[in-house]
Chains A and B, each alone.
Chain A
Amino acid sequence: MFFILITGLLLGGTYALIAMGLNLQYGVARIMNLANGEMLVAGGFAAFWVYTAGQVSPIAALLVVAPVAFVVNWAIYRIMLRPLVKRAKSRGALEVDSILATFGLSFALVGIMTWFFGGGYFNYSYLTGRVDIFASSYAQNRVVAFTIASLLAAALWIWLSYTRAGLRMRAVAVSPDSARLVGIDVPAVSALAFGLGGAVTASGGALISMFFTLDASVGVLFTMKALIIVIMGGVGDIRGTIVAAMILGIAETFVARVIDPGLTLAAAYVLFLGVLLFRPQGLFGRTPT
């Protein structure tokens, strides 16, 4: 039981990082990015590639993966998504457009990645030793991934809470129209948030590739999980995201260990159902007035 709890928490830490990336994109830039999982897989591919080709550690690869992902996502927002934001007459119209456009992007990315890397699974062995925590042993790479994910998430939280740039971002998340009135450049902040979200997600992908077997088309599963976490935690709520990710990590590990490893998505759906039925505003969200 205790073993499941710890394993779940270790998994949840990485999920939290991925979902924080999506939350930045949806909460601040108002883009429901369904290509989020493909960014993750791309980050994982990059880590895999530098590790097998040059024996560079996936952690060092983060120093390259994150900036590149930031630039790519920033450009995607400016070139692809900004025109949709401009043309949208309402929030609903933007949602439909951005869902379709990012679906297109997601399929195109899967197609391109299959082209380059083939359709097979890929993984590599890195830090395969064991770590003992409370008399049970856990895979070293999972513990390391969790630690780095926690550090990155904490850094992001502190940056959002205590800096002026973070304040601007939170202001846009609350209300883009009012943010404009107090002199915030909303398009620039949105693009920044979208880029940052992509960088965070890709970093999560590089970390997850240390212990998880990926393939070119697995992205949508992670998109799904990240979406469920974001909705469960509440859009734009970092604390909620972290708690929800931990809950999902534990629930998934529990189902995989006790019932059947093939039912992990079902576990996520049970949580999703509960949220939709009882707390559609998220765990810590207040009912909108």
Chain B
Amino acid sequence: MTMRDIRNLILSAFAFGLLALLPLYVSGYILSIATTMAMFTVLATSWALFSGPTHYISLATAAFFGLGTFVTGLGFQTLPMWLLPIIAAGLGAVLAALVGLVTLRLSGVYFVIFTLGLAELVRQVVTWVQNRTGQRGMYVLTSITERDIYWQLLGMAALVFLVGWLIARSRLGFALRIIGNDETVAKHSGIDTAAAKILLFMVSGAAAAVVGAMMAPRYIYIEPSTAFASILSFQVVIMALLGGTGRLWGPLAGVVPFTLLWEFISRNAPNQTLLLLGIAFLLIVYVLPGGFVGLYDRLRHRYGQGGQ
């Protein structure tokens, strides 16, 4: 660990400490936006852990998220609250492992297509099971407040950042960067590419499921069509790519402006959110490849501070 690492760690801990104080000063609408931002920060950062180095675009976030909300919805009355996110993480990792085993041995296109329909598939199966058992949606009535959810998500964000930092320094992170640059080279240098990809995809899937489990009390009423709404997957992809996946803090730089923009558009022109999503995708491809992180690096390079 170098001095730089220690300094960054202390700074990050300090920033998290400050953010944890937020609910003491604000409440209501601002706190709800902050909670949404915390949620997307965890989702986008954990998405980028896998998709950043490998360039495999995962559209399965909504499937994992929905799984997590259902874990809370089904278990909150019988199981202790602290156990639910752990179960969600386990189930999320299992689902990710299954998807990874089927698709990640093959090329990236299969993976994208498979994850594209995954949330809808899980939704259809859950709806079918509910219809057969005569059960409809369910109420999640708990004493958990918006504040608690915010703190939980913040803690989860800290955990994801820590895990991301550790992975980047580990052999696994190194292996993934090689896979992202050239998969053939990776194979020839003795890396088990499929295993490395599946492992990281499991981390990403587990994190999204945990977020779902934590967010469930906020929705109060859970049903398949809202829990597995696939738009969530796309929002996460946009935010992560807008910020840039090259650095750990990149997705955060996309989450903050995009959440505000989304909030503004859905309040003033609720029918135009899809158009916004489309334009954001196009902007990223044509104007901002690499996101804000890429832009920042290019600017730094141009003004002569890039050579370290």
Contacts and interface: CB of A to CB of B under 8 A. Distances in A.
A108 to B, nearest CB: 3
Interface string B278-296: 1111101110000000000
A269 interface: yes
A107 B128 contact: no
Interface in A273-288: 273, 276-277, 280
Interface of chain B, main secondary structure = helix
27 contacts: A32-B112, A95-B108, A96-B108, A97-B285, A100-B281, A101-B285, A103-B234, A103-B281, A104-B278, A104-B279, A104-B281, A105-B282, A107-B281, A108-B279, A114-B271, A115-B275, A119-B271, A217-B274, A220-B230, A221-B120, A227-B113, A262-B127, A263-B124, A263-B125, A264-B124, A266-B125, A269-B117
Interface of B: 55, 57, 102-103, 106, 108-110, 112-114, 116-117, 120-121, 124-125, 127-128, 131, 230, 234, 241, 271-282, 284-286
A264 B114 CA distance: 15
Interface of A: 32, 34, 83-84, 92-93, 95-97, 99-101, 103-112, 114-115, 119, 217, 220-221, 224, 227-228, 231, 260, 262-266, 268-269, 272-273, 276-277, 280
A93 B180 CA distance: 11
B127 A104 contact: no
Given A84-B285, A100-B281, A276 B108 contact: no
Contacts of B286: 83, 101
B282 A108 contact: yes
B275 A107 contact: yes
Interface of chain A, main secondary structure = helix
Nearest to A93: B55
Given A101-B285, A265-B124, A112 B108 contact: no
B106 A280 contact: yes
Contacts of B281: 100-101, 103-104, 107
Nearest to A115: B271
